[in-house]
Amino acid sequence: MIFHIIPKYQFRVPVYADCVSPDVFDGKKLDEILELRVWEGNKNRLLSDLFSVKYEENAESDGLTISLRGDFSKVRRVGAGMSKGKIIVNGDVGMHLGEKMKGGEITVNGNADSWSGGGMEGGRIEIKGSAGDFIGAPYRGSIEGMKNGIIIVHGDAGREVGCSMRGGLIKIYGSVKHFVGISMRDGTILVRGDCAGKAGAEMLGGRIIICGYIPSILPTFTIDSIRPNVDVNGEKIPGPFYRFLGDIADNGEGKLFVSKSKNPHLSVYEKHLL
């Protein structure tokens, strides 16, 4: 079964719609779904006040699917806590997509705002465009970052990708801004593009792989070796890569892999290799 959701008008303030989830829709009739509550700014609304919702049976659909079409860039917490089913966004979507998601799939055929997959525990999020800051990260003041699951961003991403990450995999096919993997404890972050810098600050564990250019390595990382490639879930990422260990300022045991060919300025570290 597929539910089609379209905004009735252009939203001017944030809309909090964590009820837009296969877990919430499952077992409900259309009339019940239309009466679910959302917040438009500081006003509590019915889902039907803001969105047109249509339902269709589809023999080819595997489980429950929610299809969003239009501008959802101000709509937050879509798919929060979901554990099953699929959400397909044909357009842009707002903050906190798939927050604390436990299972299922979310596909965004557009861009996503900050905190996508925040505190994620399972499932898969794929963003065909770019994403904002704090991918997989927790709210400020919390250390409970992404624990499991997969987040894939085909475009660029912002600051602090994988902040406080504890497990799972984040793949960014474009470039990232500063502090990728800050306070990371476990898991893997793969950046196919460039990094603005300060990768792995306060890193305690896990792996960061940067295939593009990075202007410098934090002084609290020490070079360990040069590796011909890196294995990411069975996929061999060709190198060679400089491998750094850190963040030693926090007694960290994280591994930072940086492309050798894209960063000739880092050759000065080679004299420290045995």
> Is the CA virtual torsion 118, 22, 91, 156 positive or negative?
positive
Please say if the pLDDT value at position 58 is more than 90. no
Q: Residue 103: how many CB atoms within 10 A of its CB? A: 16
The DSSP output letter for 265 is G
What is d(CA 79, CA 265) in angstroms, rounded to the nearest whole number? Answer: 43
**pLDDT score recorded for residue 243:** 98
Please say if the pLDDT value at position 147 is more than 60. yes
**pLDDT score recorded for residue 59:** 54
Q: What pLDDT digit, counting tens, does each position of 225-268 carry? A: 999 999 999 999 999 999 999 999 999 999 999 999 999 999 99
- Name the domain count of the chain: 1
The DSSP output letter for 203 is -
Mean pLDDT of 31-42: 98
Mean pLDDT of 162-176: 98
Whether 51 is covered by a domain: the verdict is no
Whether 76 is covered by a domain: the verdict is no
Whether 235 is covered by a domain: the verdict is yes
- With H, G, I as helix, E, B as strand and everything else as coil, classify residue 270: helix
Whether 77 is covered by a domain: the verdict is no
Q: What pLDDT digit, counting tens, does each position of 177-219 carry? A: 999 999 999 999 999 999 999 999 999 999 999 999 999 999 9
Please say if the pLDDT value at position 108 is more than 60. yes
Give the burial class of 10: count Cβ atoms within 10 A of its Cβ; 0-12 exposed, 13-18 middle, 19 or more buried.
Answer: exposed
Whether 130 is covered by a domain: the verdict is yes
Whether 243 is covered by a domain: the verdict is yes
> Is the CA virtual torsion 260, 262, 268, 269 positive or negative?
negative
Whether 118 is covered by a domain: the verdict is yes
Mean pLDDT of 142-158: 96
CB proximity list for 263: less than 8 A, separation 6 or greater: 213, 214, 242
| Strand extents, DSSP E, the chain | 2-7, 15-16, 37-40, 43-46, 51-56, 65-69, 75-76, 86-90, 105-108, 124-127, 150-153, 166-172, 186-191, 207-210, 222-232, 235-246, 254-259
**pLDDT score recorded for residue 227:** 98
**How many residues in the chain?**
274
Please say if the pLDDT value at position 274 is more than 90. no
Please say if the pLDDT value at position 165 is more than 90. yes
Please say if the pLDDT value at position 70 is more than 70. yes
**pLDDT score recorded for residue 103:** 98
Mean pLDDT for the chain overall: 97
What is d(CA 1, CA 66) in angstroms, rounded to the nearest whole number? Answer: 9
Distance of CA 214 to the CA centre of its chain: 21
Whether 176 is covered by a domain: the verdict is yes
- End-to-end CA distance of the chain, in Å? 61
**pLDDT score recorded for residue 138:** 96
**pLDDT score recorded for residue 60:** 64
**pLDDT score recorded for residue 207:** 98
The two beta strands, 43-46 and 37-40, are antiparallel
Q: Which residues constitute the domain of residue 119?
A: 114-272
